[in-house]
A and B are shown apart, each in its own frame.
Chain A
Amino acid sequence: MAGTPTAGPPGTGPGDAAARTGVLRLVLGHPTGFIGACGVAVVLVIALFGPMLAQHGPYELAGDPLTGPSSTHWLGTDNLGRDLLSRIAVGLRMSLIVALTATIIAAVVGGALGMLAGFIGGRTDRFVMRCWDVVLAFPDIILAIAITAVLGSGMWTAVLAIAAVGMPSFARLARSATRTERNLDYVLADLVAGAGRVNILLRSVLPNVAGPLVLFLMTSIPHAIILEAGLSYLGLSEQAPTPSLGAMINTARNYLVETVWFEIVPIVALFLVTVSVMLIGLRLSDALDPARRYTRRAIRRGSGGTA
């Protein structure tokens, strides 16, 4: 079962289904995880079914601008009279898609490079880790600005920037976990038995490194969501008219004197999604990694949560 941090991630062991219900029970059986799960459920319902619940599409000029909640517009309207509920729904979708894609890219690329560096060691190791030093020298938003200079602003720019910001942490984690594994008897036994390096890396090392990486991935998602919101706030992510929470918050700033409602709705939506995901990550790392060997950095240092 997924009781120890060194066990494989849910879904890799033989007790596949059991491990999965175990994780679910782990999250739901504790107040922290339960509240987080409820929050995520609300977010998912809004993101998936919001456009159906709302009586107007996200691009439709459907009523008076800047109104409060009413029976036709449950969350009111924006500065152009578009329905906020359906715009929030699409905005949440965008931010979840961007954050998840970016975090997974960061985990796969960063994790693979970190494992290679840790396994090969020597000069390769030093070179790869020095590369991350360079990446870490760029403050996250500044890195995003630099990438935007080349690619122009847009969703994929945001994905790339968020992934690049997250990669060094995944690489460092994978590297140190791999270095620990490399010197253990079973790896030495494989080497002596003449197994190929790639084979050892994939069959023996990966399952043991994957657990901490998946846990770190879970705890990194909120930072990715926050960074995405920051980039879209600054106009470096999705472009109008595509709804995004950050851009909505930025636009509403100009109408604060008329109404604060338009500002508060996206702020609360964003807060709901980040805090809920964070609570789940916190619960998982409390249960699976009580010493915080793998997740302390993500939770406390913030692997890119500047925004």
Chain B
Amino acid sequence: MGAYVRRRFAGLVIVVFVASVIVFSLVRVLPGDPAVTILGQDATEEQLEAVRTSLGLDEPITTQYWLWISRAATGDFGYSYATGYPVVELIANRVPATLHLVVAGLLLATVLGVSSGIIAALNRGKLVDKVINAMNMATLGVPSFSLGLVLLMVFGLSLNWLPMSGYVSLWDDPVDAITHLILPAGTLGILIMPQLSWLVRDGMLANLEQDHVRTATSMGLPRSVIVRSNLLRNAFSPVLTLLGLTTGKLLAGAVIMESVFSWPGLGSLALRSVLSDDYPTVQAVVLLAVVTVVVVNLLTDLLHAKLDPRVMKGD
């Protein structure tokens, strides 16, 4: 286990390092002078020079990278070009909204995916199985914003059951928060669901044919016990891995959901920043997303290795 952890951790460090160099270079290859972007065209040469020095722009490029990354590691991403606030403050303000959305989306995806997978496996080849499969296929063909907007038109606009946009914190008003969450998190959940549903179904069916299940059946154990203790337990570890792998998908989906449902999260911050040339904020959000993806992947892999030590042998 120790060697495996070390090898995986080394991989993570390399990926994060290269990604951070890319994110850092984004701003360096941009046309134009950041000092001019901050101060505007009318600034005097002395003012520009002062800003350049404060940004460290007169240092060699490796020193600049080192300054940027060591500050970033302590949470200092500089100041937003657009608003003048510290970037870390802008991000901190928006983390809760995105966390609400992502956690609720993941929960709904797991519940929907696992239950539909179990139902499909237990009704293998029957109509229910085919309907679930067709729905999963159709979901993959629908862009998330289309799905979100259709749900919004049905449940928000026509039926008027749910609010059409906006975010309320769970700590402020749990009921209101949940009604606001249902549409965006539900859409996100439905998008992640198909892969899970298939995985659970296929995993259960593969296990159904294994000896230990046949033994349990011939011993007369009730079906519900077999499903719970044999089939689901074996399907658990791949589900976990898949959930880990969907982190990137979840974050990207959150950017779109935040746009559809006017959700004040990190995605809409990134989008607004990129459209207003606010590079320090873009850098910070992109780096944060990459680190999140890589760290979650590592954690799921380690957990997977713990549950199923065979994976450590492969690469």
**Which A residues are closer than 8 A to B by beta carbons?**
130-131, 133-134, 136-142, 145-146, 148-150, 153, 222, 226, 229-230, 233-236, 246, 249-250, 253, 256-257, 260, 263-264, 267, 270-271, 274-275, 278, 282, 299-302, 305-307
Asked if A142 contacts B252 (CB within 8 A), the reply is yes
Q: Which residues from B are CB-within-8-Å of A148?
A: 274
Judge whether B15 and A150 touch: CB under 8 Å.
Answer: no
| Contact (Cβ within 8 A) A253 B149 | yes
Given A142-B251, A249-B145, A260-B157, CB of A233 within 8 Å of CB of B26: no
Fill in one digit per residue for B13-41: 1 if any A CB lies within 8 Å of its CB, else 0: 01110110011001101100000000000
Flag if A233 contacts B259 (CB, 8 Å).
yes
- Given known contacts A150-B29, A267-B150, A306-B253, is B144 in contact with A138 (CB within 8 Å)? no
A-B contacts, 10 listed (Cβ < 8 Å): A134-B22, A137-B19, A142-B251, A142-B285, A146-B23, A233-B259, A256-B164, A264-B153, A274-B141, A274-B142
Cα separation A217 to B15 with both chains bound (whole Å): 27
Residues of A within 8 A of B16 (CB): 137
Nearest chain B CB to A296 CB, angstrom units: 10
Complex Cα distance, B249 from A264, in Å, reads 25
Top 5 nearest A-B pairs (CB, nearest first) are: A139-B248, A139-B252, A141-B252, A306-B252, A275-B141
Spot the interface stretch: B66-74, B112-120, B179-187, B286-294: B286-294
- CB within 8 Å of A: which B86-133 residues: none
Given A142-B251, A263-B153, A306-B144, CB of A149 within 8 Å of CB of B274? yes
A226, B195: Cβ atoms closer than 8 Å: no
What's the minimum C-beta distance from A279 to chain B, rounded to whole angstroms? 9
Residues of B within 8 A of A (CB): 11, 14-16, 18-19, 22-23, 26-27, 29-30, 137-138, 140-146, 149-150, 152-153, 157, 164, 191, 194-195, 198, 245, 247-249, 251-253, 255-256, 259-260, 267, 270-271, 274-275, 277, 279, 282, 285-286, 289-290, 293-294
B143 adjacent to A270 (CB under 8 Å): yes
Alpha-carbon distance between A282 and B22 when the two chains are bound, in angstroms: 36
Q: Please determine whether B294 and A145 come into contact, CB atoms closer than 8 angstroms.
A: no
A150 & B30 in contact (Cβ 8 Å cutoff): yes
A137 and B144 form a contact (CB under 8 A): no
B207 to chain A, nearest CB (A): 19
Q: Give bound CA distance, A178 to B145, whole Å.
A: 38
Q: A136-B248, A150-B26, A233-B259 are in contact. Are A142 and B153 (CB under 8 A)?
A: no
In the complex, besides A142-B251, A250-B259, 16 extra interface pairs with C-beta distance below 8 angstroms are: A138-B290, A139-B248, A142-B255, A145-B282, A149-B277, A229-B146, A233-B145, A249-B149, A263-B149, A271-B142, A300-B195, A302-B249, A305-B140, A307-B145, A307-B252, A307-B253
In this complex, the member of A136, A141, A260 whose beta carbon has the largest number of chain B beta carbons within 10 angstroms is: A141
Contact status B289-A142, CB under 8 Å = yes
A267 near B146: Cβ-Cβ < 8 Å = yes
Cross-interface CB contact of B19 among A138, A249, A302, cutoff 8 Å: A138
Are A302's CB and B141's CB within 8 A? no
A139 touches B256 (CB 8 A): no
A272: nearest chain-B partner, CB-CB: B141
Residues of B within 8 A of A267 (CB): 146, 149-150
Nearest chain B CB to A259 CB, angstrom units: 11
B residues in contact with A137, CB < 8 Å: 15-16, 19, 248, 290, 293-294
Contact B293–A139 (Cβ < 8 Å): yes
From known contacts A134-B15, A134-B18, infer whether A140 and B248 are also in contact, taking CB-CB under 8 Å: yes
Task: Report Cα–Cα, A190/B144, bound state, in Å.
Answer: 49
Q: Are B141 and A278 in contact (CB under 8 A)?
A: yes
Give bound CA distance, A275 to B279, whole Å: 37
Residues of chain A within 8 A (CB-CB) of B140 are: 222, 278, 299, 302, 305
Q: Which residues of A contact B152 (CB under 8 A)?
A: 256
| Chain B residues, Cβ within 8 Å of A256 | 152-153, 157, 164
Compute how far the CA of A222 lies from the CA of B141 in the bound complex, rounded to whole angstroms. Answer: 7
- Bound-state CA distance A253–B152 (Å) is 10
Q: Within 8 Å CB of A150, what residues of B?
A: 26, 29-30
Q: A137-B294, A230-B143, A235-B275 are in contact. Are A146 and B153 (CB under 8 A)?
A: no
Which residues of B have CB within 8 Å of A250?
A: 145, 259
Query: In the complex, which of the residues B29, B245, B275 has the most CB atoms of chain A within 10 Å of its own CB atom?
Result: B275
Of residues A137, A229, A236, A300, which shows the largest number of chain B Cβ atoms within 10 Å of its Cβ? Answer: A137
Contact at A233–B22, with CB atoms within 8 Å?
A: no
**A73, B112: Cα distance in complex, Å:** 42
Q: Is the CB of A138 within 8 A of B249?
A: no
Min distance, Cβ A268 to any Cβ of chain B, angstroms? 9
| A130:B144 contact, CB within 8 angstroms | no
Q: B26's contact among A141, A149, A230, A234, by CB below 8 Å, is which? A: A149
Query: Considering the chains assembled together, what is the distance between the CA atoms of A134 and B13 in angstroms?
Result: 11
The answer on a CB contact under 8 Å between B146 and A142 is: no
